Amino acid sequence: MLAGIGIVLITATACGERPASVPPAAGPAPPPSTSVSPWPEIPTRPGGSQQPPQGSVPVPASQLDVSKLSEDYPRQVSVSADGKVLYIRAEEGGCGRATGEVQQATAEQVVVNLRETQSNLQGRMCTMDIRYPLVSVPLSEPLGQRKVVLVSLKQNR
């Protein structure tokens, strides 16, 4: 047991050392980006899009009803230029997968279910991370001035 602890300590301290033969990075660091994005960079699904497509615009907070979301759930919603697709930052983790679908659409509001489906296959290992993928939700009619009501649901498969 003592030998195992020693190996762990040696490995941990070696990770922080840099061999003398490795030259420092060439050149100065690149200047920070001057473009400003209303959507901060947050972890998403590998290969998933970080940002809504070009031409989409954020839905104003006054047009969002997020009362059915937990306090730490993302509140980022954009709409396509033609108003027929919502781009919503969802939440998923481990073996979960986030999807979005219109539950109800009226002249006053669009209710969107943000569902995280958890796979519960026996023996399957799942990571303990949280990701925030961008999900797209098609609308049958343009959003216009309708309110967007977001509802978070969890489901086991």
pLDDT tens-digit series, residues 75-121:
999 999 999 999 999 999 888 899 999 999 999 999 999 999 887 66
Q: Tokens in use for 21?
A: 């033969």
Query: Which one-letter amino acid corresponds to residue 22?
Result: V
Q: Is the pTM of this model over 0.75?
A: no
| Segment 31-55 mean pLDDT | 60
d(CA 152, CA 68): 7
Q: Tokens in use for 80?
A: 């396509």
d(CA 3, CA 10): 11
In this predicted structure, what is the pLDDT of residue 6? 52
First to last CA, the chain: 41
